[in-house]
């Protein structure tokens, strides 16, 4: 399910539009992940406070969204572009891949909330595919 | 049996009380067919699903979206026994419609995105938690009678 040229353009365009709100959306998405899917907090047991809306969660959500934006720039070769991030996730973080889907869903919900007009079904499918490809690239070194 | 707090019941009821079934039903089903095109396999008799534009203009799809959303009314009215409320519908989806139960989750996710767009900041974290719980119970109940 690789992205067509048109879908890549759609992704770049939408993320461009989103850039002024990207920190908010990133922070909000991770907050919603730990709230809606509490089992994901298991990866953050080293934080004093992993509750939704807490400072470490918001900060980390912003970090993750930064990584997603970086990936937009590497959309033509995610596997190569995300090699070191993949090694990090494979050998150090070892996040179960199912969680990438859960976070992607929370990101889509936040995008939809903040950009109800722009987040059309066509934009939704392109962004969903992109996030899925991103997750695949992150899992590349897992086994 | 699923336990619901008063707050969760209030949130779910509130969402449904202001819901435009036609608008949200149509948008959710259309979005599902566009974002997860393999779901179109169940709609061979629904006419033109050629691309996103034709899907969104298709009146049969719009009507079916409304029907599906009204199907959720049953869960709303029987929140303390969604499992048994949907036993018959589950069998229908399994034996007659032959729908892969993973599709329930896909549609539920699209419904969430559409409702989030509608409610904006009103779709708070607390709201999403309750809503997701409700949909998870519905999805589980619909898949329960598959054999």
Give per-10-residue mean pLDDT for chain A (143 aa).
95 98 98 95 91 96 98 96 94 91 98 98 98 96 92
How far is B79 from A1, CA to CA, in rounded Å? Answer: 38
Residues of chain B above pLDDT 70, percent:
100
Give B-chain residues touching A132 at CB under 8 angstroms: none
- C-alpha torsion A54→A58→A59→A62, nearest 10: 180
Q: Do B125 and A113 touch (CB under 8 A)?
A: no
How far is A37 from A70, CA to CA, in rounded Å? Answer: 26
Residue A38 pLDDT: 92
In chain A, whose CA is at the least distance from the CA of B133? A36
Higher pLDDT, B95 or B29: B29
Q: Nearest to residue B13, comparing CAs of B147, B118, B134?
A: B134
Residue B143 has pLDDT above 90, yes or no: yes
Which ipTM was obtained for this model?
A: 0.85
Min distance A69 CA to chain B CA atoms (Å): 21
Best of B29, B57, B128 to mutate (most A CBs within 10 Å, chain A): B128
Q: Which residues of A touch B (CB under 8 A)?
A: 31-32, 35-36, 52-53, 105, 108-110, 112-114, 116, 119, 121-122, 124-125, 128
Average pLDDT over chain B, rounded to an integer: 96
Does residue A27 contact residue A57 with C-beta atoms inside 8 Å? yes
- Minimum-distance CB partner of A36 among B117, B119, B129: B129
Residue B1 has pLDDT above 90, yes or no: no
Residue A5 pLDDT: 97
Average pLDDT score over residue span B83-93: 95
Q: SS3 sequence, chain A?
A: CCCCHHHHHHHHHHHHHHHHHHHHHHHHHHHHHHHHCHHHHHHHCCCCCCCCCCHHHHHHHHHHHHHHHHHHHCCCCHHHHCHHHHHHHHHHHCCCCHHHHHHHHHHHHHHHHHCCCCCCHHHHHHHHHHHHHHHHHHHCCCC
């Amino acid at each position: 399910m690789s992205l067509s040229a048109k879908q890549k353009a759609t992704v770049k365009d939408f993320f461009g539009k989103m850039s002024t709100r990207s920190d908010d959306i990133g922070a909000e998405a991770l907050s919603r992940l730990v709230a809606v899917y509490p089992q994901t907090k298991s990866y953050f047991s080293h934080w004093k406070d992993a509750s939704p809306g807490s400072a470490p969660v918001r900060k980390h959500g912003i970090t993750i969204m930064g990584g997603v934006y970086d990936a937009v720039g590497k959309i033509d070769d995610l596997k190569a572009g995300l090699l070191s991030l993949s090694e990090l996730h494979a050998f150090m973080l070892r996040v179960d891949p199912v969680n990438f889907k859960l976070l992607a869903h929370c990101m889509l919900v936040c995008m939809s909330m903040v950009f109800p007009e722009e987040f059309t079904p066509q934009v939704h499918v392109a962004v969903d595919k992109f996030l899925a490809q991103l997750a695949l690239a992150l899992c590349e070194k897992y086994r | 049996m699923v336990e619901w707090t008063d707050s969760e019941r209030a949130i779910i009821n509130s969402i449904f009380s202001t819901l435009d079934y036609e608008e949200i039903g149509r948008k959710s089903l259309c979005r599902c067919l566009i974002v997860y095109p393999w779901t179109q396999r169940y709609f061979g008799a629904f006419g033109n699903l050629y691309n996103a534009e034709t899907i969104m203009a298709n009146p049969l799809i719009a009507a079916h979206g409304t029907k599906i959303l009204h199907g959720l009314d049953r869960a709303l009215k029987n929140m303390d026994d969604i499992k048994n409320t949907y036993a018959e519908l589950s069998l229908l989806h399994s034996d007659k419609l032959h729908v892969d139960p993973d599709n329930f989750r896909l549609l539920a996710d699209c419904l969430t995105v559409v409702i989030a767009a509608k409610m904006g900041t009103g779709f708070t974290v607390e709201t999403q938690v309750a809503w997701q719980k409700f949909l998870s119970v519905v999805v589980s109940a619909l898949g329960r009678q598959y054999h």
